[in-house]
Amino acid sequence: MKKGFTLAETLITLGIIGVVAAITLPGLMNTYKAHKLRSQFLKSYSTIQQVFRQMEADDVSLDPTTFSGGKMYDTFKRYLTGITECGKGNNASNKKFRPCYDYTDSSVGYKTYNGKNKVPINKFDDGQLVLPDGSLIAFENPNLPSTSTFYVWVFVDLNGFDNPPNRFGYDLFTFEFLDGELRTMGDKGTTYNDLTTYCDENSSKDLNGIACAHNAKINSDYFKKIVKEFK
């Protein structure tokens, strides 16, 4: 007599495999997404740092006052190749420049960390560009003569504006050029370093999430938490 599995045994085995897959696959997918986001974050951070270092090597002034009124974009883009130049001001919002962020379109926009508010559109009008890997870089470096305040912020959308969730602390992060070095927003000395206010799911601030870059840098499990909580 030939020995083999009965139909019932086969179905039971397949059922067990299905249950195990249903339990393990979501966890594996979350781990993959978290790893990919962290890799994209570190790559973007490194890319921006390298540009600033090249500028320094070329004796380009790194004083934020030098770049008041959105001038950082014009200098920064010269150190990159294969990019899509989005422009500044109204040019950056022109739909023909997609995949850039059209911040004049009220039906879309970046959201805060908890998704409850939209990030003010005036944070993205000092120049945008898209790297060959699809990540979007935007600048905020206005000058405020009334208070003599000058600063350079760099926003990075890790997977580009055409790919959701377009949310602070998930795929949108902020860096600040301060005292000759690029720092993650939320670090000591940066403009927004109160993590309980600007990287907290319960905060109602319209810039909630702007400080999450520092958490993403120092906590290797940051993205695992994000992917699990914000599906």
Location of structure tokens 């009965």: 6
Angle at 211 between CA 179 and CA 51, to 5 degrees: 45
Query: 72-131, pLDDT tens digit by residue?
Result: 999 999 999 999 988 887 655 455 566 889 887 777 889 999 998 999 988 898 999 999
Tell me, yes or no, whether 207 lies in a domain. yes
Tell me, yes or no, whether 212 lies in a domain. yes
pTM of the model as a whole: 0.85
Number of domains in the chain: 1
Q: Using 50, 70 and 90 to split pLDDT, how confident is the model at 199?
A: very high
Alpha-carbon 203 to chain mean position: 19
Tell me, yes or no, whether 1 lies in a domain. no
Q: Which domain holds residue 182?
A: 7-229
Instruction: Taking residues 206-214, report their average pLDDT.
Output: 96
Per the prediction, the chain carries an average pLDDT of: 85
Contact 125, 89 (CB under 8 A): yes
Q: Using 50, 70 and 90 to split pLDDT, how confident is the model at 208?
A: very high
Instruction: Taking residues 136-143, report their average pLDDT.
Output: 87
pLDDT of residue 145: 60
Tell me, yes or no, whether 2 lies in a domain. no
3-state secondary structure 68-90: CCCHHHHHHHHHCCCCEEEECHH
Q: For residues 133 and 90, which has the higher predicted lDDT (pLDDT)? A: 133
Instruction: Taking residues 129-151, report their average pLDDT.
Output: 82
